[in-house]
Amino acid sequence: MITAPFEYHAPRTVPEAVKLLGELGEDAKLLAGGHSLLPMMKLRFAEPSHLIDLGRIDSLRGISQADGEIHIGAMTSENEIVNSKLLAEKLPLLVEGASLIADPQVRNKGTIGGDISHGDPGNDHPALMLALDASFVLTGPKGQRVVKADGYFLGLYSTLLEPGEILTQIRIPVPPAGTGTSYQKLKRKTGDYATAASAVVLQMKGDVVGQVRIGLTNVAATALRASAAEKALIGKPINDASLNEAARLAMSICEPMPDLRGDADYKTAMCGEMTRRALQIAHQRATRK
């Protein structure tokens, strides 16, 4: 299958890309790694007349630390995340999550910015971003705005990104020492999207939970934050009773679409199990001496 014809543009700077996007309007699409957009174009689900390739804008790549935050350029590839020593030390959850995305070929080209922007509930970064309390820098004709991941994902292929804006950077606060994290993803085989997955960031206060954030993948039209489960865990020890209650509350917000990976009941049950496992492992990591 081949795509409908389109004109190709390769700006070298963000202002150039924003200008092009403004001039070409709704007929244009941004191209990052192309691993979601190009399949959609080949199937003719998307038929943009212009592609604006972000691949030659050097300022959109790279991982750095500034003021207690990790900054990641939107065009940073999954493999760059998987191989980053800084992320392995400061944000191991992101390394764990990115290494479970698709296969090495996809991870070589696919970008964190594209994964977040696509708004696909099967993508793994949205739930990781919710659990990590990330913020996104959106750059458009009126300048930059910074928005929280929590509230950014509106529905199927729908986010807060306005026409004319580009996601340029992802900012994630470095969790305090003693934080335990885990991403548990059930998938049928390498290269598949999650049947269900759960991302946990956990801090203990003595023997009880001090802080916890939980993000869920592919169990609704968009990534979900399991706020009721988080609330129920605060002040409780991690044991069978609290894990069962957290899993029950996570399952209570699931509305998965049935597909070849399973029916709604199965996916919901797997979300509960992934949440239980992610909490257990995050707890082990948080309390490791």
Residue 127 near ligand FAD by CB under 6 A: no
Residue 167 near ligand FAD by CB under 6 A: yes
Residue 74 near ligand FAD by CB under 6 A: yes
Residue from 79, 84, 111, 242 in contact with ligand FAD (CB under 6 A):
111
Residue 35 near ligand FAD by CB under 6 A: yes
Q: Which is nearer to ligand FAD, 117 or 275 (CB)?
A: 117
Q: Which is nearer to ligand FAD, 104 or 237 (CB)?
A: 104
Residue 36 near ligand FAD by CB under 6 A: yes
Structure token digits, residue 166: 């580009």
> What binding mask, one character per residue, do residues 228-267 give for ligand FAD by CB under 6 A, x or -?
----------------------------------------
Q: Which is nearer to ligand FAD, 186 or 238 (CB)?
A: 186
Q: What CA–CA distance (Å, rounded) separates 243 from 262?
A: 24
Q: Could you list the residues that contact ligand FAD (CB under 6 A)?
A: 29-37, 39, 54, 74, 101-102, 106, 110-111, 113-115, 117-118, 120, 123-125, 161, 166-167, 191, 193
